[in-house]
Structures are given as C-alpha cells and as structure tokens.
Amino acid sequence: RMAEKQEEPSNAQNGEPDNAEEGEEKKKKKLKREDLPPFEIVTGERLPAIFFKFQFRNVEYSSGRNKTFLCYVVETQGRESVTSRGYLEDEHAAAHAEMAFFNTILPKCESSVRYNVTWYVSSSPCVTCADRITETLKKNKNLRLTIMVGRLFMWEEPEMQTALKNMKAAGCKLRIMKPQDFEYVWQNFVEQEEGEEAKAFAPWEDIQENFQYYEEKLAEIL
C-alpha cells in the first residue's frame, strides 16, 4: 500500500518548495503523503507514526527502506540562543535528506554564530552525502554535528568505511541510536493521534540486540 501511494500522480499546486511564511493550513495539506509528487524533499514538524515504525527500525537487512528520514535539532548560539527542530525525508532519486538539510535548513553558517546540530537519521549517509558532510564541517569550524543513526548503510563497502572515517576526522560525532534515542524521536518528532493520549513508545523485540550489533560494527570501522 505504501508503495502505491508514493507513485500517484503529483498535484501541480504542491510542486513548489515549502516556504516558512505559508499558512499552517496549507502546510498541513502538504504533509498529506498522497498529495506530494514523488521525488521531492518533504519537510515538516512531525512525521507519521507508520513511517517512523517502518523506516527507523534498526533491522539488519533493511529491504524496502530506501528513503532517509532525518529529524534535526539546530541550536544556534549567537547574540541570542535559538533552537529549531523538524524533519526531512527524501526519495533516493533526488537530493538525499542530508544534502537537503545543508541546502535548505542550514544553507550558510554565519561565522559569528556557533551551531550545534543533532540529527536522528534512519540510516547512516551514503558516500556522497558523507563527503559533503566532511567538506561542510571542514569549511565551517563553528559547526558541531552529531549524527545518531538507526542503521549503518552499506557499511561493508571499503569506500563507505573511508567516508565515515573522514567524517569522524572532520569532527562529526557518529553514534548508533540506543532504545532511549528512538524513544526521544518518538516523543519529539512523531505525530500523535489527535485527541488521544500520547502513546508511549513501544520498543520492538530486537531493538537492543540490533543496537549492540551496529555499535560493534561502527566501533570496528572507526
């Protein structure tokens, strides 16, 4: 069902990028998955629970999970401190969510401001995105980036391992999401049904083992 939904024809009126000034109503309408054209970056405050439960699962074989969901918290410390948060998702044919973050959410870093950025991502970046992250961190010494990932993407590939090492060398903190981190995302970034008590996070059966499995792999790589 989900696959069908994503391929429905696009509605022209939803083709334009999301502007912050847009009315809440229009924004809500945009977030209805069916109305969105395929291969567009989707941004929003909170993601639907069904996406979270599927995309963020830290399974070993992630078949069908070919999108990246990226929840972000940006703390800027300049004259005043500001925190913003939201999420991005991508379709893998267009810009990946990691690229979209640097293109749309944080297109430029003011040199007088410190940026502490935390991402909670369903899987670790591909080689191209990892290289972009490395370059961005090297260019902007006032940017601190911590990436919490549910799964490691293609971690057996030597060029992927090199790209992750380069990210670390550039100052990026890469961590595997613990059960508590998934719970944090559930509470802060996932839509709760309207009018219902917020549902408690229900960990899946193998959440702890999978976390340990990926944590060992990441330690070996880095």
Residue 130's alpha-carbon distances to 79, 134, 165, in angstroms, are: 31, 6, 10
CB neighbour list of residue 4: distance below 8 Å, 6 or more residues apart? none
Dihedral over alpha carbons 98, 99, 105, 107 (to 10 degrees): 140
209 is catalytic: no
Spatial contact of 63 and 55, defined as CB atoms under 8 Å apart: no
Q: Of 40, 98, 159, 216, which is the active-site residue?
A: 98
Q: How far apart, in whole angstroms, are the C-alpha atoms of residue 30 and residue 136?
A: 30
Spatial contact of 204 and 183, defined as CB atoms under 8 Å apart: no
Q: How far apart, in whole angstroms, are the C-alpha atoms of residue 75 and residue 29?
A: 28
Q: Which residues pair with 43 in a beta bridge?
A: 88
What the block records as the tokens of 65 is 């999970």
| Other Cβ atoms closer than 10 A to 167 | 24
Q: Looking at this protein, which amino acid is placed at residue 24? A: E
List active site positions: 98
